[in-house]
Structure 1
Amino acid sequence: MEFSNSVLGCYISKPINIRQFKTENAYKVDQIKMSKINDRTVFEKLKSINPNADLTHLPDDINKWETELQKYNFQEVFDSPDALCARYVFPIYDTTSNNLQSLKIMKSDFYQIKKTKLYTPLPSFTPRGYIIPGETLLITISIYYPFHWTKHQFPDEAILPRCKKTIQFYDEQTLQDLKQGFKCENEESEISGDISKNPHKPLEYIVNSDLKHGLFYINNNLYVDTLPDRSTQMYAQTMKKWACDNGRPITNILSMDTKLLDLEICIGQPYVYQHLGRCEHLFIFNEISFAKSNDCLGQSGYPRVISVAKELLKNCIFCSKNVASVVMLNHDERTPVTVNHMCEPCFKSYNYDHLDDKVSNFKAFRCIKWRK
């Protein structure tokens, strides 16, 4: 595996054609037949060999040995040398040149900890939806929370993108499947506006608006949704013209139905997914390796979530029990601060009389999953 020059203290691989990597490194794995011999059959065989043998404590010893085996990591037995992996690579914007680059940081500062797989019994083989060990690639991708970047930001004030979750795909899945993995909280954003005059106003979500399409930017290529009205193609052409005018030409505009196997990517390089108009996510191809016998071998089990970041939701400032669902903006002395996060019951009981009339001048907006 060849690497490019160091970037901010880490190494990013040169572009890798995933299909070529699969063709050159695939190997055959002999299927292991599961034995139908149980403990009772083994004990009877031992008794037939030596009738005087004392097998009283043998079941307890077997359970003890199995418990001890679980403490060891047997993953190295199944590891393939033909695996591409980038760990502890954190994306960040270079504040001097305004380029999207990567920064290698200390392990203790990295929130995404990859859990090692422990030894488990081999899965039962199924004829349908079968992932073939040694021939099917498993692709691990880290997805980040949405971020907003501004020019000329100071290094100490730079907002580092935070990893949301890590998902594993198999090679025949498409970018559409990757798109479904971006469960963005902004899709649940409520856009009905100020509800202070009508607290019972129906919910209106941004995901139901005309901003349903999205696009991927991977290695100077745009991958867009294929909608009947061709609005995504027009949007991509506009972006391509803008990129060309600014010295960053876009090579091709392709469909989001492209398989992951047909991509050319760099291990550890941050790429961009954009949806809802201007909501941007970074994502990184962390690892590309061949499936092993102890992996999930059913295609229905993918995409498979490997790790998820913890979320702390903001509670109501009044009851401190319920999760805040309304943001109230108030400038008088009724509240200690201007921006108040409140739950629905506290919001209605504190700001409205029995006729649902406002008791003061304020504005209110709904919020979904407001994090601390």
Structure 2
Amino acid sequence: MFFSSETFNCCSLSLSYSSPRCSLNTMASVFPSTITECTDCICLACREFCVWGHSGIPCLGLSGVSIDMLMSSDKEKDPDVIPEDSSLLTLRIRKKALERREETIIVDRACRQETLAYEMESHAIGKRPDNPTDLVEEGELLLTLNIYYPVIFQKHKDHKPYQTVLVLGSQKLTELRDSISCVSDLQIGGEFSSQTDQAPEHISKELYKSAFFYFEGIFYNDKRYPECRDLSRTIIEWSESHDRGYGNLQSVTMEDYTFNDLSLKIGFPYLFCHQGNCEHIIIITDVRLIHHDDCLDRNLYPLLIKKHWLCTRKCFVCKMYTARWVTNKDSLAPEDPCFFCDVCFRMLHYDVEGNKLGEFLAYPYVDPGIFN
């Protein structure tokens, strides 16, 4: 141990040393027969006042303090390591929390979007098909499309794409149409407060299959099924009725066109409409040729590479489970509308025989967070 040059007071005795080895002559004149030299650590021990390693140092006012505690250690304690014999409740709680984190994967909420995007994008990088006929040929056109929330979502309508997909130039527009996921396609229409167990199994996408893309003055309508309607007809008639200056709008079927047949602008907003009036903005952000590091399995396109993560709406009662019912004009609910999980909804609004308790309107609810 190295001692630097310093001066300290010990019981009104001023001692000074400036070398690693203390002067024995100075101490011997004051404390005869009590001074010994420790050859291992080159220091002095005053046997009358302190014993090396375990006694206190009363002359310095440090009664009960070990000399080892005053010695500097080359190895500093890790602040992240919690002592085993700690009596603090907060440390014990933190230790359990750290052990739980090691057992389960917890992603910081601020990083969830980036983590999810990385996982989705890296899932298909460089993937080759099992069947050689499904291999994407060299020189194939690859487009990157951002699909935005419906315009009714004021918070996200301008800047939050909830899907980013890669499509091949040789793919039909119908393939992109089928790959777009929207919560309105999963809705169940109707009011079911009197017959909650008889809610239909058919979702809106199966009942209302009509949809169209709008690219550069042309409506590309989905007419693959007999029940499909031309949703663009009303718009075209409205535009032509008073010569509103939109030019000659055309209507064609989307199943007859691929992306290679279109004339598109990068960064220009286009439109996708389905369910009658659910409108999404589509923006093409990149057009390039495919290379060997891309996914070369044609069956995986349109390839979803990014999806916006959404918080799910919890049940108003239990605050645990995702809501499955929404009520209006509910005399038993503190809010209008109010959201409930299936268990809480039935326990609050019906008796053991299934009869309604009070007046309310009940609708099946599909949470947008299901796409997470």
TM-score bracket relative to the smaller structure: 0.5 to 0.7
**1:360–1:228 CA distance, 2 compared to 1 (3 A):** closer
Tell me if 1:131 matches 2:136: yes
For 1:201, give the aligned amino acid. Q
Of residues 216, 239, 243 in structure 2, which corresponds to 1:243?
239
For 2:237, give the aligned amino acid. K
In structure 1, distance between residues paired with 2:133 and 2:155: 52
Q: Deviations over 1:29-59 (max 9, x none)?
A: xxxxxxxxxxxxxxxxxxxxxxxxxxxxxxx
In structure 2, distance between residues paired with 1:168 and 1:205: 27
**1:358–1:162 CA distance, 2 compared to 1 (3 A):** same
Whether the aligned pair in 2 keeps the contact of 1:331 and 1:338 (CA below 8 Å) is yes
Q: Deviations over 1:229-259 (max 9, x none)?
A: 59634x4333212123322134422220200
Please state whether the residue corresponding to 2:196 is helix, strand or coil: coil
In structure 1, distance between residues paired with 2:125 and 2:283: 31
**1:265–1:337 CA distance, 2 compared to 1 (3 A):** same
For 1:180, give the aligned amino acid. D
Match of residue 70 from structure 1? none
Please say which structure displays the higher CA radius of gyration: 2
Match of residue 187 from structure 2? 189
Whether the aligned pair in 2 keeps the contact of 1:129 and 1:300 (CA below 8 Å) is yes
| 1:362, distance to aligned residue in structure 2 (A) | 1.6
**1:200–1:161 CA distance, 2 compared to 1 (3 A):** farther
**1:169–1:228 CA distance, 2 compared to 1 (3 A):** closer
In structure 2, distance between residues paired with 1:298 and 1:131: 6
For 2:145, give the aligned amino acid. I
Whether the aligned pair in 2 keeps the contact of 1:222 and 1:250 (CA below 8 Å) is no
Match of residue 321 from structure 2? 322
| 1:274, distance to aligned residue in structure 2 (A) | 0.7
Matching of residues 192-341 of structure 1 within 5 Å: 192-193=190-191, 195-203=192-200, 204-209=202-207, 211-227=208-224, 229=226, 232-233=229-230, 235-244=231-240, 245=242, 246-257=244-255, 258-330=257-329, 332=331, 334-341=332-339
Q: Deviations over 1:118-143 (max 9, x none)?
A: 9x99666873222233x111111111
TM-score (norm 2): 0.60
Match of residue 348 from structure 2? 350
In structure 2, distance between residues paired with 1:363 and 1:124: 52
In structure 1, distance between residues paired with 2:224 and 2:127: 40
Whether the aligned pair in 1 keeps the contact of 2:146 and 2:165 (CA below 8 Å) is yes
Match of residue 142 from structure 1? 146
Whether the aligned pair in 1 keeps the contact of 2:325 and 2:339 (CA below 8 Å) is yes
**1:196–1:238 CA distance, 2 compared to 1 (3 A):** closer
Whether the aligned pair in 1 keeps the contact of 2:126 and 2:295 (CA below 8 Å) is no
**1:365–1:127 CA distance, 2 compared to 1 (3 A):** closer
Please state whether the residue corresponding to 1:305 is helix, strand or coil: strand
In structure 2, distance between residues paired with 1:263 and 1:342: 46
In structure 1, distance between residues paired with 2:176 and 2:141: 15
| 1:338, distance to aligned residue in structure 2 (A) | 2.8
Please state whether the residue corresponding to 1:128 is helix, strand or coil: helix
**1:337–1:306 CA distance, 2 compared to 1 (3 A):** same
For 1:169, give the aligned amino acid. V
Match of residue 365 from structure 1? 363
Of residues 147, 162, 165 in structure 2, which corresponds to 1:164?
162
**1:137–1:198 CA distance, 2 compared to 1 (3 A):** same
For 1:238, give the aligned amino acid. T
For 1:239, give the aligned amino acid. I
In structure 2, distance between residues paired with 1:318 and 1:157: 26
For 1:284, give the aligned amino acid. I
Where does the alignment leave 5 or more consecutive residues of structure 2 unmatched? Answer: 1-109
In structure 2, distance between residues paired with 1:202 and 1:311: 26
**RMSD across aligned positions (CA):** 3.2
Specify which structure has the bigger relative contact order, considering alpha-carbon pairs within 8 angstroms and separated by 6 or more residues. 1
| 1:331, distance to aligned residue in structure 2 (A) | 5.1
Percent of paired sites with the same residue: 22
In structure 2, distance between residues paired with 1:165 and 1:337: 32
For 2:132, give the aligned amino acid. P
**1:267–1:359 CA distance, 2 compared to 1 (3 A):** same
**1:201–1:272 CA distance, 2 compared to 1 (3 A):** same
Match of residue 175 from structure 1? 173
In structure 1, distance between residues paired with 2:338 and 2:295: 46
| 1:158, distance to aligned residue in structure 2 (A) | 9.4
In structure 2, distance between residues paired with 1:121 and 1:367: 36
In structure 2, distance between residues paired with 1:157 and 1:229: 37
In structure 2, distance between residues paired with 1:264 and 1:251: 15
| 1:115, distance to aligned residue in structure 2 (A) | 6.0
In structure 1, distance between residues paired with 2:223 and 2:188: 26
For 2:281, give the aligned amino acid. L
Match of residue 12 from structure 1? none
Q: Deviations over 1:304-352 (max 9, x none)?
A: 11111102110101111111001122454x4332321100110111111
Where does the alignment leave 5 or more consecutive residues of structure 1 unmatched? Answer: 1-107, 150-155
